[in-house]
Structure 1
Amino acid sequence: MATRQSSSPSALSSPWMRPAPLRLAVHLALAALAPLAAPAASWAQSASAGDIAFAISPSPLDVALGQFGVAAKVTVAASPELTRGVMTQGLSGRYTAEQGLAQLLAGTGLQAVANANGEGYRLRRAPQNAPGVSTLAPVTVLGQADSAVTEGSGSYTSRFVTIGKGLQTLKEIPQSVTVVTRQRMDDQNANTLDEVLANATGMTLYRSPMGGSYVYSRGFRVDSYQFDGVNRAFYYPQADSFTSNTVILDRVEIIRGATGLMQGAGSPSAAVNLVRKRPLAENQVQMLASGGSWNNYRADIDATGPLNESGTLRARGVASYNDREYFYDGADSRSGVLYGALSYDLGPATTLTGGVSYEELRSTPFFHGLPHYSNGDDIGLKRSTSLGQDWNRWNGKQTSVFAELAHRFNKDWSLRLTGTSTQESNDSKYAFTEGAVNPQTGLGPMLYAGLFDLSTHNKALNLDVDGAFEALGRKHSVSFGASINELTSKNDFALNRLNRAVNVWNPDHHVPEPSDDWMRENAYRSAATVVKMKQTGVYGVGRFSLADPLTLVAGARVSWYENTSRYRDSGEQYSDPYKDNGVVTPYGGLIYAFNPQWSGYVSYAQIFEPQNSLDASGKVLDPIVGKNYEVGIKGELLDGRVNTSVALFRIDQKNRAQQDLVGNCTVGDICYLSSGKVRSQGLDAEISGEVAPGWQLFAGYTFNTLKFLDDTTVTTTNFGRTVTPKHILRLWSDYRLPGNLSAWSLGAGVNYQTGSYTETRGVKVSQGSYAVWNARVGYQINKHWSAALNVNNIFDKTYYQTIGAPGWGSFYGDPRNATLTVRGTF
């Protein structure tokens, strides 16, 4: 049983999912021309005290901004798309920082916006004046509730994150944190969540044999996902079918290690927070069209802006469509995304935001992967080999509705109340093979079929309160809140033997399709169930200033969890119900600031994972407990433009169910002991941001070892495979050329990892270390249009993205491929 929740089946029947290319282009063009109301009002920021002597000659704007920042000792962040090819008249004389910046930007069509935290500025396009009206180019403050927003920053890092409860800098969280910004997603063409996580520090993907991917961090499967900080539970009866498009996201935040404070139940791997784009206070329309290898075509449009003159009502709409084939035979997919959101300022300190997203997938997939020889050796099949059938289908829908009320009582205290409702469905039917290939005869694989009908409804309500107070002459902060999450999943599946041998060198893709009724009547394994999961919790965490350089972080969560599953027809119990009441997961750390740029920390975090195995007396085992110990150093450099960290970690997980071979079972024939214990330990290192003018860098390295501490002979665990290799490197860099070549940017990177294997019944399937190199060339055509060519796997490395068992489950990684993308911003 996999737990990463799903929803019900459905085919992509909506007409908009199958538009002809011309019709699609017309719809997107019409949407782009839809009028938006006037921009929101802005407030002038008071001038900086004291005049500064400037001597900046006419030059490209990005060069001039660097000189200005050095002279004024301030940070001016700008997206490369804004500054490419823009010249400035220069700046000479004595000015305040605000006056000088306004003068420097005169005639560029840009204006400076003071950051909400009062430190530095960012650039945006200046609003267009009405005919006959002229205004000065003021420095403005744009009201924004979420200063962790990465959209428009042009950066590979963010100074703030929201995943650790409350708005915090990365240095304020005593655990390893990664932020994948909007700019990096765009530069790397990371259009799905899987593509984002595959390029994140310490994360590896194990392709699910029946759709989607399992994600691993520090040797454990990631099962904790949040949307805007609100947990979403997942459940799939077989494999993992969760997918998500990134077109609606501003950023992806990841905390590695145990995160029980944030979500209660889960594994000690990592938590992933998907932060949606929100309506902006200024008019903006973005368009994208791309085409790539294997007929991979995509079109996006994203429009936002105020809907009234005062700017108190703002809207955003996103639409995306992708039609593609794959490098392996007979597979294709069509996916679409619609997203709409509204924000309304009920008052100066209160904002109500609501939105809805809809994702739809219709595909002909190749599931279950390729086999190896029965001794584990590689067969060496062509990468285009598919063992699927032309009647395979995987159709899915996800609809999510959310509402958020944010209120700031004063400069220190704020509240956020969020409610979400998500419905997901999956309808899949496919043929797959199982069986290793005999090296002498070439026989072994046999054809099977699976039918799955899944639907899930997930509801969540979350309350967070953040505040600061003074005590004993020092300022401290606290976060506390409560949450409730309910999931109901209705599932129906059947697995069948089709009793046909498969020739893996010359597969037949046209085997007659069995009817759905026949598959249900002749299944060797099937079930129709209703699974219900409910989790509630309360939490509190404080950050206490003990001395100028020393901060204590301490808190805990108390959780209640219950799980039941019954047959859909009879209502009889399908598996043993289980629940855990009042489970406490503590969290704590010490942060020592060496200076304003560098700090060190030690931390302890815990998480629990319910289990439904019974001991000899018939009692449900205690939950599995994961404990995370971490010590590290973090740096915030170059006025926050660069974040870096190094951490040593150890995770001990205990109470894993192991079969009791001695006790007399009072219920059933098999009972268990909670005696299993495993350990994961290693090092994480990361650097991200603008390390030099025009040079954005992301580099993440992980060293990880995994071992059993108790019951080392037991193999019923993910530790039977190296889903987290010993060494992992994720590197991507993009450099904007200086001077007259500033319209050009060059990017390159590599994903490297050491060998991996799986071991099944004493047979090991393995592969050695490999590196996949990628590159990008970008060109800013003018202030509105840009183009980029991405080439992935430029040396055409042949490797397995996932290593399975001898008889199934190995998937090749993508061969060399290219994508040309054109973007427009207005």
Structure 2
Amino acid sequence: MVSAAQSNDPHRHHEKRHNLMGEVVGRIELADGQAAEQVSIRVKGTSLGVNSAADGTFRIQAPAGWQVLTVSCLGCTPQEVTVEVKPGQRVEAQPVRLAAGEQQLREVTVTGAKSLNQRTTSIGKMPIAPLDNPQSTVTIERAVLEQQQALRLSDVLANVAGVYVMGTTGGTQEEIASRGFAYTSANTFKNGVRFNNGIIPEVSSLERMEVLKGSAAILYGNVAAGGVLNLVTKKPQFERGGSVGLRVGSFGFVKPQFDVYGAVGQSNNVAFRLNGTYERGDSYRDGVTSNRVYVNPSVLFRLTPRTELLLEGDYLRDNRTPDYGIGAIDYQIQDSRSRFLNVADARNATNQSSATATLTSHLNSTWQVRAVGSFQRYDNDLRSAARPSTIISTPGATYGNWTRGLLRTETAENYFLGQLDLTGTFRTGFVGHTLLLGADADQYDSNVVAYTNPASPTKPTTAVTAYDIINVLDPSKVIAQPTERLAGFNSLVRNSLTKGNTRRAGFYAQDLLSLSDKVKVLAGLRWSYQETPSDVFNYNTIANVTAKTANTYVEARRYDQAFSPRLGLVYQPIKTTSLFASYANSFTPNTGLDLQGNSLAPSLIDQYEVGIKNELFNGALSANVTAYRIVNSNQAQSVLPTDPRFTTASTTSPMELAGQVTSKGVEVDVQSRPVSGISFIAGYSYNYTAYTKSNIYEDGSRLRYNPAHTANGSLYYSFGNLFANNGFLRGLNAGVTAYYVGDRLAGRNSRSLNPATGKPWVDANGQPIADAFKLISLPNYFLFDASLGYSYERFSVRLKLANLLDELSYNAHDDNSINPIAPRNFSATLTYKL
């Protein structure tokens, strides 16, 4: 019998209500089996409801008994699921696969309405909503790429604050950097797998681009501190469709492309996708041409209702003229946009292919295992004049003369990767967990053959080094040529074969702890191991005989290991705002020996980051601000000969971890969802990366290539709402984009001391002189682009005018590769949807 006091006890009534409720868990999937987030799940006949999480899972409280869950979203057919809810227990519903609705809005997909802070990046490996992640992340979707008619990766990067092109490496590569650190091939990914970025990647196959700014060492080991970039290619779909198109543009540019997808036969378990393109064109640069072929096939197998296998591959053949630009005379740029300094038969030929298998199994509604195996092949044959250096700068008749040499290399690289991740969500008491446990291992096998100059027919102990002499200001100028000249690339002889076999492995764990709805902690740790053997075979050439290395085999082997911790705190005062602070570190392996003759240890790099993420106007606008400080406090540097510890400079060139480089800055990213036909992207970044401790560079001197300021903005409008009653004008759309790159430095940082002597610079007479190295200030520039598009039924046409103001500036590599940016240019794209 219940007493009156007991019947009036509110805690007892709460306990009774709790006992009459149960919990339903499940997962929502898109038609292709991928996770569907922000889908509404409601208990029919009640006010109870939730939205699916980033990994498609949901948890909802429901009254005991048989209940009907309604599942609905924009552009899909509502579905109902019946489950039996038991008091105080959890019941698992069968996965729900969304089906397209019969009356869909034009070009609307289930994921199309997500904001910047609702898009979970696959490169992060965990189903964490961006508002819960104490790290800056940015995703650029395919709709933006199509609106802006992105042709190169640099076009896509112009939408992300603080990620920029730092150089173009002979016109064959776009060197990417962020926060003062270069994105090497270790920092660039395709579908979560590293790829060699030595050649410009193809963007026509992209579904989206993901950027995870700052340290990602806990997830991927040896990556630079600036961040990582992931290119996600188009995936198979069970609905049949596709498109064919043709893009033409200035300088003889032609690019046909195609994309087809659908179920294999009438199967509900096997789907495919195949897209590809051919491209050819000349250039605003005299004598520069390019052509490429790209194919990207993929197949999806639904092995069971919870398990799927995705097979993806791609092949790229890229042939283009290597172009090291217009050169610089005594660190001064001689303005030109078209002047070409390479030889007529120079070429850079690259073949790159990959194959990736991804097996994903949902063990239940809260746990998932994912296994990835991948192979990539990269082959490159480079034949080019050397970079324009040692140009005569003395005034007179020979001013601007340059003696050209030739270079030739052949590179073959195989890359293997295996990766296994387990993710899950659970609770321990009042603490919620989103856990990641994983391991990975990869291996690079590389062979690089380098060629050098042959012996002189008249002086067997010397080499012929010159191909010809030109004047960089007037390549057509007639100049007396050397008596002995290289006959061409085939006259070069093998100099060395370098065989690399880098092996890496790592184990990692990361947990997002939800202490409450407002406070969350992300903590994790990774252990990384890296083995770097390098075998060099030297051939009997004049260069090797002079260096006393002829017919030698040299083996070098390094073993490195490091721990990479991560700790972040998130506070959400309201559901649409999160404040975060985090610490993480990364590592960079070094070469060389220390004072004791041992291999130099890796440099550990600390990163501190704070920020705020906001969802404004009911999620219509995302506005995020991040501030960071990255410190490499044990940067490798040479021990100077004047140092008392220096004893063996001529044999070991001792190194030490005593330098310091500091990067600090602020980034702002703003994105809107499409609202009434309008979409908007904007951003700003400030960065200052400098030597803050060095034995040869002045403290505070900036590192090269990193712009102090960047800013971006794009506005796109579809006139469908304005002309809703006019079938002809309804398909009209237009957009403008702007991109600003602030002051940058190229050339070489001047040194306060001569590293060869450890003393101030002096001439042959002992008189003080300045360092021969100088910095080059590259011009700031604004790029303005305008686009106009029109769609009618299955046809669409897009027009683009790029660099409207015809701005002139340069990208640079070292002190002698100065490449001008493209002038005003035009393109048009015609597309037919199948």
Does structure 1 residue 624 correspond to structure 2 residue 603? yes
Distance 2:826 2:219 in 1: 39
**In the TM superposition, what are the counterparts of 1:383-782 in structure 2 within 5 Å?**
383-432=337-386, 433-436=388-391, 438=393, 440-441=395-396, 442-496=399-453, 497-498=465-466, 500-508=468-476, 514-520=487-493, 526-568=495-537, 574=554, 576-581=556-561, 583-638=562-617, 640-661=619-640, 662=643, 663-665=645-647, 668-690=651-673, 692-711=675-694, 713-714=696-697, 721-737=703-719, 738-740=721-723, 741-760=729-748, 761-780=772-791, 782=792
- Is 2:802 the counterpart of 1:792? yes
Q: Secondary structure at the match of 2:254?
A: strand
Task: Give the Cα separation in 1 of the matches to 2:617 and 2:97.
Answer: 15
Which fold has the larger relative contact order, with Cα–Cα distance below 8 Å and residues 6 or more apart in sequence?
Answer: 1
**Out of 238, 241, 247, which is 1:284 matched to?**
241
Match of 1:296 among 253, 270, 277: 253
User: Which of 815, 818, 825 lines up with 2:826 in the alignment?
Assistant: 818
The one-letter amino acid of 1:824's match is: Y
Quote how far apart the aligned CAs of 1:221 are: 0.9
Contact 1:618 1:665 (8 Å CA) reproduced: no
Q: Tell me the residue number matched to 1:217.
A: 178
Contact persistence 1:598–1:633 (CA under 8 A): yes
Specify whether residues 330 and 160 from structure 1 end up closer, same or farther in structure 2 by C-alpha distance, changes over 3 A only: same
Cα separation, partners in 2 of 1:427 and 1:40, compared to 1, 3 Å: closer
Decide whether aligned partners of structure 1 residues 673 and 349 sit closer, same or farther in structure 2, where only a CA change above 3 A counts.
same
Q: Relative to structure 1, is the Cα distance of residues 637 and 279 closer, same or farther in structure 2, using a 3 angstrom cutoff?
A: farther
Question: Offset at 1:726?
Answer: 1.3
CA contact (8 A) 2:115 2:622 kept: no
Alpha-carbon contact 2:638-2:653 (below 8 Å) kept: yes
For 2:3, the equivalent position in structure 1 comes to none
Give the Cα–Cα distance (whole angstroms) in 2 for the partners of residues 683 and 822 of structure 1: 40
Change (3 A) 1:560 1:97: closer
CA distance, structure 2, for counterparts of residue 624 and residue 101 of structure 1:
49
Structure-2 separation of matches of 1:158 and 1:291: 36
What residue identity is the alignment partner of 1:758?
Answer: A
What is the alpha-carbon distance in structure 1 between the residues aligned to residue 97 and residue 305 of structure 2?
23
CA contact (8 A) 2:689 2:702 kept: no
Residues 689-742 of structure 1: per-residue CA shift (max 9 Å, x gap): 326421111112111112222116338x99764322111112222111232154
Aligned to 2:547: none
When structure 1 is superposed on structure 2, of 508-517 and 741-750 the one drifting more is 508-517
> What is the CA deviation profile of residues 749-782 of structure 1, one whole-angstrom value per residue up to 9, with x for unaligned ones?
11112212224334232133221111111111x1
The normalised TM-score by structure 1 is: 0.79
Counterpart in 2 of 1:26? none
Q: Deviations over 1:38-97 (max 9, x none)?
A: x99999998885799xxxxxxxxxxxxxxxxxxx9999xxxxxxxxxxxxxxxxxxxx99
2:308 is aligned to 351
Q: 1:113 to 1:258 in 2, by over 3 A?
A: farther
CA 1:544/1:48 → structure 2, altered by over 3 Å: closer, same or farther? closer
Match of 1:265 in 2: 222
For residues 251 and 100 of structure 2, what CA distance do their matches in structure 1 show?
37
The Cα of 1:650 is off from its aligned counterpart by 0.2
Q: Look up the SS of the partner of 1:187 in the other structure.
A: helix
How many pairs are equivalent? 705
The answer on whether the counterparts of 1:115 and 1:122 sit within 8 Å (CA) in structure 2 is no
Q: In the alignment, residue 745 of structure 1 is paired with which amino acid?
A: N
Partner of 2:753: none
Distance 1:666 1:40 in 2: 63
1:76-475 aligned at under 5 Å gives the runs 159-205=119-165, 206-209=167-170, 211-223=172-184, 224-225=186-187, 227=189, 230-232=192-194, 234=196, 241-366=198-323, 368-374=324-330, 376-381=331-336, 383-432=337-386, 433-436=388-391, 438=393, 440-441=395-396, 442-475=399-432
Letter in structure 2 aligned against 1:299: P
Distance change >3 Å, CA 97–CA 329, structure 1 → 2: farther
Decide which moves more: 638-647 or 726-735. Answer: 638-647
Larger Rg: 2
Change (3 A) 1:410 1:736: same
Preserved contact between residue 159 and residue 681 of structure 2 (Cα < 8 Å): no
Q: Alpha-carbon deviations, 1:553-587, whole Å to 9, x = none?
A: 00011000011111247896547421213x11001
Letter in structure 2 aligned against 1:314: A
The 3 A distance-change label for structure 1 pair 125 and 545 is: closer
1:156 touches 1:181 (CA, 8 Å); kept in 2?
no
Contact 2:134 2:580 in 1 (8 A): yes
Which TM-score applies when normalising by structure 2?
0.78
* Structure 1 SS opposite 2:143: helix
Please state how far the C-alpha of 1:352 moved relative to its aligned partner. Answer: 0.9
Q: The residue matched to 2:492 in structure 1 has which SS?
A: helix
- Unaligned ranges ≥5, structure 2: 1-30, 53-67, 82-92, 454-464, 540-550, 724-728, 749-771
CA distance in 2, matches of 1:557, 1:718: 33
In 1: Cα distance, 2:798 partner to 2:103 partner:
32
Post-superposition offset of 1:438: 2.4
8 Å Cα contact 1:416-1:464 kept in structure 2: yes
| Cα distance, 1:204 vs structure 2 | 2.1
Q: Secondary structure at the match of 1:241?
A: coil
Q: 1:300 to 1:209 in 2, by over 3 A?
A: closer
Aligned-pair distance for 1:599? Answer: 0.5
Q: What's the CA shift for 1:222?
A: 1.3
How large is the RMSD of aligned CA atoms in angstroms?
3.7
For the 8 Å contact 2:684–2:709, the answer to whether it is kept is yes
What is the identity, as a one-letter code, of the residue corresponding to 2:519? L
**Amino acid aligned to 1:293:** S
Distance change (3 Å), C-alpha of 1:693 and 1:666: same
Give me the identity figure in percent. 23
SS of the aligned residue for 1:502 comes to: strand
Contact 1:201–1:730 at 8 Å: present in 2 too?
Answer: yes
Label 1:74 to 1:824 Cα distance change in 2 as closer, same or farther (>3 A).
farther
1:474–1:123 CA distance, 2 compared to 1 (3 A): closer
Q: Which secondary structure state, in structure 2, belongs to the residue aligned with residue 183 of structure 1?
A: helix
